[in-house]
């Protein structure tokens, strides 16, 4: 799609005959797909021909994969003997290596997520959670408090994260998984996928067409003290590619604390542009973002403006 999903069209074919379970696109052009047996790869998704098979699994089934860059990624699943399967690559999948640590008594794995090259989590059968802070050299078990299968996870940073699982399970941590607490999903259906745009707004998908949404990080909160309209939708952005200047304008009903951040499509905070008290009325600001642009690839980004209890985002498309 090139219009936000209003229209979808056939684009590229995958060499594998198996059903595609996951897709990951890095730097807007590099693409991997995952099926139960195959990992497929293409270095330019806009080029012709098929997404070719990169790795074929002979023992077990893949369940999930995650890439932190165009070279570093991990894939998890379950072996034919019902134990954990964890594989990793540091060269974009030219070589996939099977981990010897997450084996033996570790049950099958269903989800994996890394917030950077070193820190990540895997989840799976029987409520298992494992965390690494050294790129998988070692893993520490964490207590989930549940015995059902955990299927997918998403971390906003090294501390704040969510896990979804069978029977409507949603778990939340704000200390990297040292402690996990349950959040009320309002359903008993199996939940299988999760994504957060920022620390408050997220979506969960599951069986029987289940789609859940939160605008409070999944936490029940009291009605805000400020009246509706405290921060209205006049928020807009503009970008001057010549000056490499980002302009931001918004309207406030009253004086309040404002933060302005730039995120990529994976929900990672790339930089904070503003964190200060702003007066009521119209505000127009301009930021020199040349330093940011030099270190990020072309693609879609989000400029997120927050007050204490309101969040608005605008899309920023970089095509230099």
Cβ contacts of 47 within 8 Å, gap of 6 or more: none
User: What does the pLDDT read at residue 298?
Assistant: 85
Closest Cα to residue 120, out of 142, 105, 145?
142
Share the mean pLDDT of the chain: 88
Q: Distance between CA atoms of 107 and 173, rounded to whole angstroms?
A: 22
Band of pLDDT at residue 310, cut at 50, 70 and 90: confident
Distances (CA, A) of 299 to 19, 32, 63, 134: 27, 17, 27, 29
Cβ contacts of 259 within 8 Å, gap of 6 or more: 272, 274, 275, 305, 306
User: What does the pLDDT read at residue 221?
Assistant: 35
Asked if 247 contacts 239 with a C-beta cutoff of 8 angstroms, the reply is: yes
Q: Distance between CA atoms of 5 and 39, rounded to whole angstroms?
A: 26
CA atoms within 13 Å, Cβ hemisphere of 191 = 26
Band of pLDDT at residue 320, cut at 50, 70 and 90: low
pTM for this entry:
0.69
E strand spans, 108-156: 109-114, 120-124, 129-132, 140-142, 150-155
Distances (CA, A) of 243 to 236, 240, 246, 291, 300: 18, 6, 9, 12, 19
Closest Cα to residue 139, out of 124, 153, 149, 129?
129
On the question of pLDDT at 233 being above 80, the answer is no
Band of pLDDT at residue 251, cut at 50, 70 and 90: confident
């Amino acid at each position: 799609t090139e219009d936000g999903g209003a229209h979808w069209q056939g684009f590229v074919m995958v060499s594998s005959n198996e059903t595609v379970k996951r897709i990951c696109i890095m730097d807007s052009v590099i693409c991997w797909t995952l099926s139960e047996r195959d990992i497929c790869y293409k270095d330019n998704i806009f080029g012709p021909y098929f997404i070719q098979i990169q790795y074929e699994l002979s023992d077990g089934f893949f369940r999930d994969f995650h890439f932190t860059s165009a070279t570093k990624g991990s894939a998890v699943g379950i072996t034919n003997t019902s134990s954990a399967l964890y594989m990793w690559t540091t060269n974009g999948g030219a070589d996939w290596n099977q981990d010897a640590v997450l084996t033996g008594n570790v049950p099958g794995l269903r989800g994996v997520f890394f917030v950077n090259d070193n820190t990540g989590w895997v989840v799976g059968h029987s409520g298992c959670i494992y965390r690494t802070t050294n790129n998988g050299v070692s893993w520490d078990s964490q207590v989930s408090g549940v015995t059902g299968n955990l299927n997918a996870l998403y971390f906003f940073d090294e501390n704040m994260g969510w896990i979804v699982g069978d029977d409507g399970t949603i778990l939340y941590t704000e200390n990297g998984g040292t402690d996990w607490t349950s959040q009320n999903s309002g359903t008993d259906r199996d939940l299988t996928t999760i994504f957060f745009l920022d620390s408050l707004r997220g979506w969960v998908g599951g069986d029987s067409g289940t789609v859940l949404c939160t605008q409070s990080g999944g936490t029940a909160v009291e009605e805000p003290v400020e009246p509706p309209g405290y921060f209205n939708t006049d928020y807009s952005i503009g970008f001057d590619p010549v000056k490499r200047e980002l302009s931001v304008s918004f309207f406030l009903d009253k004086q309040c604390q404002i933060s302005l951040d730039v995120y990529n499509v994976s929900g990672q905070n790339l930089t904070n542009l503003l964190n200060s008290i702003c007066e009521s009325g119209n505000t127009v600001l301009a930021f020199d973002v040349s330093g940011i642009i030099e270190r990020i690839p072309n693609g879609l980004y989000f400029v997120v403006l927050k007050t204490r209890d309101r969040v608005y985002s605008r899309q920023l498309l970089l095509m230099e």
